Amino acid sequence: MTQYNPVKAGQKIAVKVSGGCEVVIHRPNGELETVQNPAGCREMNPALFARMKAATKAAGRGELVSYKNKQKDAEYTVTAADAAVDSTAQIERLMKE
């Protein structure tokens, strides 16, 4: 049987949240520029990066070289609704075993 540690309402848990993203752009003048949260984007994925890369190149503003998503630590306080969902999920897991 799997070890289960239920969450309780009011419990504080450590979580990772988006800390924004960085994009490196090779500008037409040869300069490499690092842009924080381009176009207000807080998180990048391969599809979005490809679209932004094509749009930046088409606009003649340079070529996107790479991106990096940053994460930061945060603390979350479990609500009663969170605890109820966790409890329901535990019951479902036990029924499948």
Tokens 């991106």, residue located: 67
Question: Rounded to whole angstroms, how far apart are CA atoms 7 and 30?
Answer: 53
Per-residue confidence in pLDDT tens, the chain, 97 aa: 556 667 788 888 888 888 899 999 999 999 999 999 888 888 999 999 999 999 999 999 999 999 999 999 999 888 888 777 776 666 666 667 6
Secondary structure E strands in 1-97 = 12-26, 32-36, 63-77
Question: Rounded to whole angstroms, how far apart are CA atoms 50 and 16?
Answer: 25
User: Cα 40 to chain center, whole Å?
Assistant: 14
| 27 and 16 Cβ atoms separated by less than 8 Å | no
For residue 73, what are the β-bridge partners? 16
Q: Is the pTM of this model over 0.85?
A: no
